[in-house]
Amino acid sequence: MGGRGRSRTQRRHFKENRENVWKRPKSDPSSENNNSNSSSSNNENSYWQPFATQNPAFDEYYKEQGIVSPEEWDSFMQVLRKPLPAAFRINSSSQFCSDIRSQLENDFMKSLQAEVTDGEAEAIRPLPWYPENLAWHSNFSRMQLRKNQTLERFHEFLKLENEIGNITRQEAVSMVPPLFLDVNSYHFVLDMCAAPGSKTFQLLEIIHRSAKEGSLPDGLVVANDLDVQRCNLLIHQTKRMCTANLIVTNHEAQHFPGCHSNRNCSSSSENTMGFHPSVSQLIFDRVLCDVPCSGDGTLRKAPDIWRKWSPGLGNGLHNLQVQIAIRGLSLLKVGGRMVYSTCSMNPVENEAVVAEILRKCGGSLELVDVSCELPQLVRRPGLKKWKVRDKGTWFVSHKDVPKYRRSLIVPSMFPSGRIYVERSENNPDTELGEKHENCGNGNSKDGFHQLGDPVADDLDEEVCNFPLERCMRIMPHDQNSGAFFIAVFHKLSALPAVQEKPHTLQVDSDLSAKQLNQVIEDTNGVEVISGDGTDEKHSVANLEAGTDEPDEAAVEPHLCITSEVQNSEEAQALDHKEIDVRKAGGKRKKQTQGKWKGVDPVVFFKDEGIINSIKLFYGIDGTFLLNGHLVTRNNDTNHVKRIYYISKSVKDVLELNFSVGQQLKITSIGLKMFERQSSREGSSAPCVFRISSEGLPLILPYVTKQILYASLVDFKHLLQYKTIKFADFVDSEFGQKATNLMLGCCIIVLSKGSRASLDSTQVDDSTIAIGCWKGRASLSVMVNAIECQELLERLLIHMDAQNGSLVHEEKSYVKGVEVEDMNDIERNEDMESSILATKS
């Protein structure tokens, strides 16, 4: 399948109507028209009906595997057939984190309790195993939240805070894997299969929260996904975090580039750009390997899986899961930690993969016992024995698998991982063990040659000797959740050189011998097929050659294809598409990011004139480094619309990527900091670039010009009415100061006193500020309606605490009445009278 072709929750099967995953779609209207004689009762039957929550094959498979005891099977199935309760997590790095947690504890926990039937637990409650009451569980399903009128206020609260980024709606068990990674602010973290992005968001929260106050983390998160559309979903999700420490890439996880600057792409044009990266190899302190799986642990939120489920789903993904996990370990530093996880209950996707990883990696890897971590999380140990089912037949050993199925049902699916090779009649003494990575001293029995790990003598039931009880199984009926599997690895030493089936590279037959040798050298012995079909085979080189970390990344099909070697079918197809687009006319010419066609480039922004004008206009403190930390997505720097800010760690990785020929296919990078103001008034301003809402919190402590401090009332009016003339501010002194600002973008900070501060106050995490545009006669807010609404909600809470007379004043903004007029500069008489009334 090559990556995430089949989503773990099978989203593609009901993406058109995700709101009603617990309902059947209506029947085809055309069929109703054809049955004109049908009775009204038949029409009623055409409406939405619940999915069938049963599958005999599912029951038989998991009963035989013994994932739960026979005594608890009924309760297990009963919970599995119920809709999944909603869960969400508070963004620990949000400035409103404490306010939101307090609102949940003191408001919603009490007000929602009346909606819970007698005998049930609390309406909402914090998850006891998640630190600091930052994750919450609701006993209402997502369907109930949408349909129940009495829950409307809570539902609106969740939607608003989720859109802003103050909370993330996420399945409870999905929050567990990042917690076992033990991430710190200085760690380089790789999320191999990241979309839709909730775990990536969680990782970013952790590295930002553990960073020193007022500074960016020294680490970063690289979030990767194979599917371009899912990458866009990932970008949308993580954009709410407003971070400069994130890179989003688009690669097959099992082929994620290693980026070795010391040997790769020495002849590429990108390497002549003068980059001298401070890091020579892209390796990570932590790796999250949440692989694609059959997804039967998500049956409670995706019940359509019931009818689609079969044992073959897990069997078909096993090899891919092993490849992705091994790739993740090869990119992990010695001493680092990797978490392997799935939302599946199938041991072929879980324990079998873990056992194969341990077999391949030998003593260089340790399966960590984390039973003492998160003690309040109810979990079960991993299985030590299981069976494999294929085409309606159970197999306890690979020896029993028919020859014609052995290419699909592989030895690593079984607990022992033993390989049984029938002795050749012509040469019964042939020893094939030397050709397999799991070579060992085998015993001959029943005409088979046995290779692999020694196990119990009872061949009727294989038992794995690895400590798989250290793995974790989270079951739905233990704590009213979904199902999940988690294993934690610690890398003790460099991985051994694994002799794998060589990858194949297609190269141009017109290459000179010197160029071909360069490709072979760069690919470190990968099998090369020339354009005329002749083979050039070379053995895999020793991965340990003279480095502290093995060059496992060298076994990589597209690790270093220089600019001369890009005649693959995919590249040619993209070329043809580009030609077609140019012929059609009217569409923007596709950009190129190194060898990646159709992808916007990543370019360091070095226009000193624009950078200096931004520094001068906003009075940016010299301690905030702009030079070398700004990038754009356009090769034409004269028409740049957006400028992104990147942290030092991201800058180091980007320079490394340039030095190795842009092996990383980057879809998103950094934090949008400045945006060109394209309006007529904006083009006449001294600085045409405004500070974006996303970048404002980061740069605010370093801005010394174009900044004003407003009283609570004036700040509220700005959010509510969007545009106010200078003479109409309640605080006339503030209006006069606004008049004296230069034309262009400015920053309005909420003063901590009752009136606007005469002097600038200390900016900290609690400071609330918005970007505005200072026009010729008025001040206009440059914040979207959703953010305005959320800030107004927060202000009402503060106003409630400070002055009861101002509570709930003009609360119609919740319905968006005033927001509709936000572009109207000339306010109506009602607005002016409202401001005058406030003054009086």
Element (H, E) at 101: helix 97-103
Q: Which two tokens stand for residue 766?
A: 């609690």
Q: Is 416 annotated as a binding residue?
A: no
Q: Is 290 annotated as a binding residue?
A: yes
Q: In this structure, how many other beta carbons lie within 10 angstroms of the beta carbon of residue 636? A: 8
Q: Is 754 annotated as a binding residue?
A: no
Burial class (CB in 10 A: 0-12, 13-18, 19+), 5: exposed
The four Cα atoms 183, 187, 190, 194 give a dihedral, to 10 degrees, of 50
Q: Is 390 annotated as a binding residue?
A: no
Does residue 413 contact residue 315 with C-beta atoms inside 8 Å? Answer: yes
Please tell me the distance from the alpha carbon of residue 203 to that of residue 237, in angstroms, as a whole number. Answer: 13
Phi, psi of 697 (to 5 degrees): -60, -35
Catalytic residue chosen out of the listed positions 242, 265, 343, 745: 343
Please tell me the distance from the alpha carbon of residue 700 to that of residue 702, in angstroms, as a whole number. Answer: 5
Please say if 343 is a catalytic residue: yes
Cα atoms in the 13 Å half-sphere on the side-chain side of 305: 24
What secondary structure does DSSP assign to 712-728, as a single string? HHHHHHHHHHSEEEGGG
Cα–Cα nearest to 280, from 257, 249, 258, 297: 258
Cα atoms in the 13 Å half-sphere on the side-chain side of 249: 24
Does residue 748 contact residue 718 with C-beta atoms inside 8 Å? Answer: yes
Q: Omega of the bond prior to 196 within 30 degrees of 0, cis?
A: yes
Question: How would you classify residue 685: left for phi > 0, otherwise alpha for psi between -120 and 50, otherwise beta?
Answer: beta
Q: Is 513 annotated as a binding residue?
A: no
Burial class (CB in 10 A: 0-12, 13-18, 19+), 649: buried
Q: Is 199 annotated as a binding residue?
A: yes
Cα atoms in the 13 Å half-sphere on the side-chain side of 324: 33
Q: Is 580 annotated as a binding residue?
A: no
Element (H, E) at 830: helix 829-839
Catalytic residues: 343
**Which residues are known binding-site members for S-adenosyl-L-methionine?**
193-199, 225, 290
